Amino acid sequence: MTIRTILVDDEPLAIQGLELRLQAHDDVEIIAKCQNGREAISAIKTHKPDLVFLDIQMPGFDGFSVVQGLMDVEPPLFVFVTAYSDHAIRAFEAQVTDYLMKPVEESRLADTLDRVRQRLSERQSAGEAEKLKEALAEHAPEAAAEMADGGDAVNASRFEKMINIKDQGQIFRVDVDTIERIDAAGDYMVIYTGDRNLILRETMKDLEKRLDPRRFQRIHRSTIVNLDLVKEVKPHTNGECFLVLGSGANVKVSRSYRDVVARFVH
């Protein structure tokens, strides 16, 4: 699999250095190089790359503005490359795949590309599974229905009841029934239970696979809630709303996930 890649940095020497390091990775194909955020947005929409290495501090549109400017299209994977470490938390909140410090170390770049390959493989597998379901629904609806029914039965037994979380040198065994919500910050998850908050190093996509979707649903690109612990639904403006959880916490449901709220309205 070729990783179609765009490099974005307002410093030509930085692009040249990263390009040189990427030559060691045969599956990386650089299809465009941009020197500002506006060029980057245009190039990404035109070329539809798999991966973008993106500088944060650029004149005009910075790296965060580029990510935000692509919310209306299927985004590529982003890796921020910057000389400043104080953007790290905000970068992970923006759901980037990784965060590299300049000058980029070859070993660190290799680790990042391994993560990129894994993410792209997961995307491809999910896309192929969806195409199979669509083909079955069109040409063999009975088989599709049987597949869905059988899948529910199998899935119900494979979802985890307990999750082990290593946090601050201790291992906590958490009953999933006590998990109220989960917030994502890059590859870290904050798990909120009735009496504590724990940090888990895992992607949201991987964690979702371990939880029963009949109970745990995403209500925002970076938030999952336990539907069993929702006490109240409060409508808000622009088609959004808030869920009030058992602890009293209010969490916003974005418009993209309004179907989650529909199950509470009878």
Per-residue model confidence as pLDDT tens digits over 175-195: 999 999 999 877 788 999 877
**pLDDT at residue 138, as a whole number:** 58
Report the distance separating Cα 184 and Cα 198, nearest Å. 12
Q: Say if CB 182 and CB 207 are below 8 A apart.
A: yes
**pLDDT at residue 153, as a whole number:** 44
The mean pLDDT value of the chain amounts to 80
Confidence of residue 128 (pLDDT cuts 50, 70, 90): low
Confidence of residue 256 (pLDDT cuts 50, 70, 90): confident
Confidence of residue 90 (pLDDT cuts 50, 70, 90): low
Mean pLDDT of 207-225: 86
- Selected residue with higher pLDDT from 142 and 163: 163
Closest of 250, 203, 201, 198 to residue 225, by C-alpha: 250
| Token couple for 186 | 């890059």
